[in-house]
Structure 1
Amino acid sequence: MKIIVPMAGIGSRLRPHTLTVPKPLTVIAGKPIVQRLVEDIASVIDQSIKEIAFIIGPAKKGFPANTEATLLQIAKELGAKGSVYVQEEALGTAHALFCAKESLSGPCVVAYADTLFKADFKLDANADGAIWVKQVADPSAFGVVKLEEGFITDFIEKPTKFVSDLAIIGIYYFKDGDRVREEIQYLIDNDLRENNEYQLTNVLETLKSDGAKFIPGTVNIWMDCGKKDPTVDTNKQVLQFEHQAGNNLVSEEVILENSEIIQPCYIGKNVVLKNTKIGPFVSIGENSVVENSTITNSLIQTNVTITNANLDNAMIGNHAVFNGKFTSVSIGDYTELS
């Protein structure tokens, strides 16, 4: 089995944090989003992963030089070969996938890296394909699938009338990746675009018309990492899951001076807490210092200095310095408020 992860988007909705770090590499509870995504997929497919292929954007779009090394290490930790491809121009979901055409073969899972999920189903690898879906209250804001006798019969983008409440979350399984590659090649060769882009939904429709049977993979929880508030909430949910699983995410190298940690929290190595109360639902990256502060429900990255703060629902980037009176903030890397 292969996993292919298109992640070339610039993450403009999560700025300023994505000005220096690609959104899929934003750290949630101690791990990059994309690492948690492929780990969750691995648990669902329940079989060995041969390769993980990542499609990133060019350096000019904000992808730093160490991106490839980071992604190859993520693949290695899951015992898989890592491959990294570059999508130089944003021309749609199918085009992004085609940038990894050398890896698009055999059984594979395609996962667009702006979401996390929790599910208790196991993938039926004998199906022609599967589409991860989540029941939602307002399907008009999503692409949805329609079912008959357990199989997907239609894909509808942002329906104006109710046809289904099963939203497509952006993760797909294909038994025959070669066939998917051939269909994308056909789109590109014949310049078949929608809104000037090559769309994966057109490939799905063609495969279905040719007799492929797609089944749904229903997830229990769908966590968004598109904007600041949902990302902070995703951090909260991930911390809850880790705590319920009995995982302690507080490093033994944390220095506590007249301070308290209220679980669940992630506290990285060499963090110093002085006269401070942390938690619940707080992540703090390594080499950070927090003094004379109270912090709840917040996501704080590495090498951060925070003093005299009362923070809730905050997101603070790497190497930032904050000494302030604000409570709900979104601070990017290398920012100073003092």
Structure 2
Amino acid sequence: MAGMGKRMRPHTLTTAKPLIPVAGKPIVQRLVEDIVATGSEKVEEIAFIIGPSFGKEVEAQLLNTASKLGAKGRICYQETPLGTAHAILCAAESLKGNVFIAFADTLFDATFSIDTSRDAIIWTQKVDDPSAFGVVKLKDNGEIEAFVEKPQSFVSDLAIIGVYYFRDGENLRKELQRLIDNDIKMKGEYQITDAMEHMLQNGMKFYTDQVSEWLDCGNKDATLYTNERILELKRNKENLIDASARIENSSIIEPCYIGPNVRIVNSVVGPYASVEANTVIEKSIVSNSIIQCDSVVKNACIEKSMLGKSVSYTNKSDELSLGDFSTHI
């Protein structure tokens, strides 16, 4: 999760992308909670690979997330963005025994039942246009035969989503280090697919499993769709409306997330709105949007919008993307 999140600006100018809230929780928190909750294996340690500029407050938040899940947290730094293989190798001390890897800009609906006797498992999702993704080609027995990056002619419709299991973390570390030592790059970066291809050629057996739904948080529109789907998936599993929220002469069209100490007056909120703590909405209509904490929305009609922390927005109807501390009157 060490990337700069440039496609999510202005929101990532002040907040690391994996900490942007979706349905009331930061993306990375939802990711690790779902992995721990749906998997059958005990998670002993969670290593977060971040940029050095994220700051001590962010690091403390991540370590607390791991602690709440009964795991030891470890902070690892990727000083320079040199690709997925390089990023994972930044957590070299954690690459031992059974290792589960997830990229922190995607969420998914899945149950992780891991056959730990298998050398490796790569999670995939069927896609309509495989040419935009790395895909796996399968043998008749279900083993992975090849990894193909953005195939221009049809090879497979099973796209690699950035979720992996490796039985032997030490071997994975050795293979990633081999790329660095031999300067093996793809488009100027060290890629995990190159390491996996070498493992495959040397007899390691890879298998695939599929997620029910793959949700991207790469840009504003994708994140809003992910917020919508997570609200739908969690509507009967989580308490999405905090008891301290004050809802006065207003309608909430569920599913919505309404955070602590939110005040909603003479308004209609929902469906698919997430309103973070201490935000005030008055005489407004809000739907399909994420409004972060300590913001104020008055006399407005907004949809398909993202408002950052401490935003003040009044007297307009629009589709918005406003960063933290913005004011529009």
Stretch moving more, 232-241 or 64-73: 64-73
> Is residue 2:265 matched to residue 1:263?
no
In structure 1, distance between residues paired with 2:245 and 2:112: 37
Shift of 1:121: 5.3
SS of corresponding position for 1:250: coil
> Is residue 2:152 matched to residue 1:160?
yes
Does the C-alpha gap of structure 1 residues 324 and 142 become closer, same or farther in structure 2, counting only changes over 3 Å? farther
SS of corresponding position for 2:96: coil
Q: How does 1:238-249 map to 2 (within 5 A)?
A: 238-245=230-237, 247-249=238-240
SS of corresponding position for 1:66: helix
CA shift digits 1:254-274 (9 cap, x unpaired): 112211211111101111111
SS of corresponding position for 2:30: helix
Q: How does 1:179-198 map to 2 (within 5 A)?
A: 179-198=171-190
Shift of 1:285: 0.4
In structure 1, distance between residues paired with 2:212 and 2:161: 12
CA shift digits 1:132-163 (9 cap, x unpaired): 10000010110000111111111001000001
Q: Which residue does 1:72 correspond to in 2? A: 63
Shift of 1:248: 2.5
In structure 2, distance between residues paired with 1:40 and 1:215: 22
In structure 1, distance between residues paired with 2:173 and 2:38: 24
In structure 2, distance between residues paired with 1:209 and 1:55: 28
Asked if structure 2 preserves the Cα contact closer than 8 Å seen for 1:21 and 1:64, the reply is no
Asked if structure 1 preserves the Cα contact closer than 8 Å seen for 2:46 and 2:72, the reply is yes
Shift of 1:44: 4.1
Q: Which residue does 2:142 correspond to in 1? A: 150
Q: Which residue does 2:10 correspond to in 1? A: 16
Stretch moving more, 181-190 or 27-36: 181-190
Asked if structure 1 preserves the Cα contact closer than 8 Å seen for 2:39 and 2:111, the reply is no
In structure 2, distance between residues paired with 1:248 and 1:262: 15
Shift of 1:244: 3.7
In structure 2, distance between residues paired with 1:48 and 1:111: 16
From 264, 267, 292, the equivalent of 1:301 is 292
Consecutive unaligned residues of structure 1, counting only runs of 5 or more, are: 1-6
In structure 2, distance between residues paired with 1:40 and 1:319: 29
Instruction: Give the CA RMSD over aligned residues.
Output: 1.1
Q: How does 1:63-142 map to 2 (within 5 A)?
A: 63-120=54-111, 122-142=113-133
Q: How many residues align?
A: 328
Asked if structure 2 preserves the Cα contact closer than 8 Å seen for 1:292 and 1:308, the reply is yes
Asked if structure 1 preserves the Cα contact closer than 8 Å seen for 2:39 and 2:113, the reply is yes
Q: Which residue does 1:4 correspond to in 2? A: none
> Is residue 2:145 matched to residue 1:171?
no
Consecutive unaligned residues of structure 2, counting only runs of 5 or more, are: none
In structure 2, distance between residues paired with 1:18 and 1:175: 35
> Is residue 2:327 matched to residue 1:333?
no
For residue 330 of structure 1, what is the amino acid of its counterpart?
A: S
SS of corresponding position for 1:102: helix
In structure 2, distance between residues paired with 1:147 and 1:41: 25
Stretch moving more, 147-156 or 42-51: 42-51
For residue 96 of structure 1, what is the amino acid of its counterpart?
A: A
Shift of 1:311: 1.0
Does the C-alpha gap of structure 1 residues 177 and 198 become closer, same or farther in structure 2, counting only changes over 3 Å? same
From 28, 31, 42, the equivalent of 1:34 is 28
SS of corresponding position for 1:170: strand
Shift of 1:72: 0.2
From 191, 194, 209, the equivalent of 1:202 is 194
TM-score, normalization: structure 2? 0.97
CA shift digits 1:56-77 (9 cap, x unpaired): 0121xxx243111010011011
Asked if structure 1 preserves the Cα contact closer than 8 Å seen for 2:279 and 2:293, the reply is yes
In structure 1, distance between residues paired with 2:281 and 2:191: 46
Q: Which residue does 2:309 correspond to in 1? A: 318
Q: Which residue does 1:273 correspond to in 2? A: 264
In structure 1, distance between residues paired with 2:17 and 2:276: 16
Q: Which residue does 1:291 correspond to in 2? A: 282
Shift of 1:43: 3.5
